[in-house]
Structure 1
Amino acid sequence: MTGERSRSEVYVAAGEVCGGALSGATEELISITRSEDFEHLLLAGEPSDVPALVDALQVTDSRELGFCRLLTPASQPHRFLEFFFGWVERQSVDSNDSALRDDPVNLFYDTGEEAVTLGRGAAIYFPCSVEGRAEESVSVRLGVGIQDAGEPDDRITLLNSLARSVAERLGCLEESALTDGVPQRLER
């Protein structure tokens, strides 16, 4: 080989991506991507695992932090999945937004302060009273870079699993109201 990496050097298994952060939802990750092999893209300055993400979240003034950008062999060279974390004012988390509620594509779930699948993505907001952030909620967002973004229930379960890992590390898992297991759809 002349400068090329072998497949085993590039790709990792679902349970190992993002520092193992998605190991609680590997079935959903495989279902969404239809792949068992992943490459984790790490952009300069981005955290590589949940402990580094939590450290960055506690001091960030940025609206969002990118975390865990994944490629699959079939998605190359485009990103398939990417996650974003940030802080939002609690009053801005408004599940009564009629435009959001009226769109039949959007599905709401019983986890956190608010959880919704939106087209090709998903978002969860959960309360987390940590020092200096008492009036804010954590925002967790999943973006899927292809048209067929998998089943909404799989997307929200994957995002919920990652959100729980972060809430636990932040010390607010109980306060977060994040479902242990598969979040259930709410009726409209």
Structure 2
Amino acid sequence: MSHMSPMGSQVNPRIRNNVLWWALSATATLAALSGCTEESAPEVAGVPATQICASTLDSSAAAALKRVSGTDEFAELEGESPAGGASNKFSLSGAVEGLHGTASERTQCTIYKADNKSGHPLIEIDFEAAASHPDTRSALKGNSQRTTVYSIGAYAATNANFGATLFFACSTKGPEGGNPYVKASMYSSGDQFAEEDTSRDRMIILNSLSRRLAEELGCAKEASLPAEAPAPMSQ
């Protein structure tokens, strides 16, 4: 089986659309509130980590999200995508439905700090069907300062650009045929993180959502994802 090269810089073009949508929404809200005083302007009501993104974070992942963000008040995108297509509101059923679709047809888990004023998401997590995965041994022999590899699923790693990737075995069928893997990707600008070293916490969060999606897909046994994310692998 041919393998993809280990991941490099992860930049999700849909983040730019979501940031624009968030900024436009904030502008519209401010315009509507122009008659209010600064003291009376309402703030975004946040929800705890255990309730964000369809309550897909287990206790370890919720604690990891609080560590990387420095808060336990979060918000996520709702409504329709500005470009049309999938709903911005994350759900496991929506993630399953969009696995074989384009980025605009998939439903992402996009998390913001509730008090965020920049419009930048804390993290965004996306799921898609995949035909292959990177090679773990090649990743370990590569630039270890940029890629941190974990023994989770078929392949799992974080990178120095605040991204993370996890491939797990799960056979699915789409309009163009079947795929043996599901790829979970995490994207972030990194400017919302409260910690510098977030690699393991990012993987704990990604593993938790991936486990829940594998259960929803009925392939939890095939995926064989651990209940607790292990420490990084060494060469």
- Class of the TM-score when normalised by the shorter of the 2 chains: 0.7 to 0.9
Q: 1:34 and 2:77 equivalent?
A: no
Are 1:66 and 1:82, in contact at CA under 8 Å, matched by a contact in 2?
Answer: no
What is the deviation of 1:131? Answer: 4.3
Structure-2 residue corresponding to 1:48: 90
Per the alignment, do residues 126 and 36 of structure 1 end up closer, same or farther by CA in structure 2, a change over 3 Å counting?
same
| Structure whose alpha-carbon radius of gyration is higher | 2
C-alpha displacement of 1:12? 1.2
Structure 1 runs not aligned, ≥5 long: none
Looking at structure 2, the residues matched to 131 and 142 of structure 1 have their Cα atoms a distance apart, in angstroms, of 23
SS of aligned partner of 1:48: coil
**Which of 150, 153, 156 is residue 200 of structure 2 equivalent to?**
153
Q: CA RMSD in A?
A: 2.6
Asked if the contact 1:16–1:23 (Cα under 8 Å) also holds between the matched residues in 2, the reply is: no
Task: Name the aligned partner's letter for residue 127 of structure 1.
Answer: A
Equivalent of 1:81, from 119, 123, 126?
123
Answer yes or no: is the 8 Å Cα contact 1:121–1:142 preserved in 2. Answer: yes
Contact in 2 for aligned 1:14/1:23 (Cα 8 Å): no
Q: How does 1:135-150 map to 2 (within 5 A)?
A: 135-147=179-191, 148=193, 150=197
CA distance in 1, matches of 2:180, 2:138: 19
- For residues 109-148 of structure 1, the aligned pairs below 5 Å read 109-119=150-160, 120-131=162-173, 134-147=178-191, 148=193
- Distance, in Å, in 2 between the alignment partners of 1:108 and 1:14 is 25
Partner of residue 107 from structure 1, selected from 148, 152, 155 = 148
Aligned 8 A contact 1:156 1:183 in 2? no
The 8 Å contact of residues 20 and 49 in structure 1, kept in 2 or not, is answered as no
Instruction: Find the residue that maps to 2:225 and give its secondary structure.
Output: coil
1:152-175 Cα distance to aligned partner (Å, 9 max, x none): 111101100000000111011111
Q: Give the total of aligned pairs.
A: 183
The equivalences for 1:3-42 within 5 A come to: 6-7=42-43, 10-24=45-59, 25-42=61-78
- Residue identity matched to 2:49: A
What are the Cα deviations for residues 115-135 of structure 1, in whole angstroms up to 9, with x where unaligned?
A: 001111111001102345654
Distance 1:10 1:139, change over 3 A: same
Q: What residue is the counterpart of 2:102 in the other structure?
A: 62
- Which has the larger strand fraction? 1
> Counterpart of 2:142 in 1: which secondary structure?
helix
Q: Mind listing any 5+ residue stretches in structure 2 that lack a counterpart? A: 1-31, 34-39
Q: 1:145 to 1:98 in 2, by over 3 A?
A: closer
